[in-house]
Amino acid sequence: MALFKIAKGVYVPNVWKLSEGFEVTPREGARLRIKANVSLENLDSFFRTATDCLIEPVFLILETPCNEVKERELRKNSEDPFHMDVYYSEPKSRADIIDLYARYDELLLNDGFVRFGVASQKTQDEVFVAAYKIVYLLGSAPNPFQNILNQFELPQIDQLVTAWDLFTDGDPGEKSRYKSPVGDIYDMIESLMRSGDIFFSKTVAD
């Protein structure tokens, strides 16, 4: 079995315990939430292919940590949560959103802090790469992502072991910034905001 590869900007103890696979959790209203481990060398292709399953128009989702000045204002003591800024693009075609993603794919795939995804405005189905690059697929039954799960040969597992299951008090996970040829995540946000490709939506607790 091939070793599961993780992003350059994350540290997970005992990473050898991770393997590709997915777990399905039914939700209200015939909705499904799929949680998946996708090894780094497959994540780009998986994300693009999953995006192709979404009904247009679709929009890009980006979540980045608040900058230090803003975080100091929001976080009053050590017990308060950290915060993330959430950005969206305007609804576009799948091809247009993938073009946006492709400008920063190396950075998005490897930075330890950024989270990103694509959602359908019409159906609210969603592909989201969350903390530690765990993938979440949200859709309605029957599973709209089943074909790509089969295509990438991801086995269905009753209780998927993810990075979160491997952390301990003595050996917690770590995240770090990653810088690609186009800069870091804050350079990315600044560039996309300046070009009008995304807009700030809200700040949420992490």
**Which pTM does this prediction carry?**
0.95
Mean pLDDT of the chain: 95
Residue range 122-157, pLDDT digits in tens: 999 999 999 999 999 999 888 889 999 999 999 999
Q: Which has the closest alpha carbon to 157: 25, 57, 9? A: 25
Q: Which has the closest alpha carbon to 36: 172, 155, 167? A: 155
Note the helical H segments in 105-174: 105-110, 146-151
CA distance 189 to 36: 27
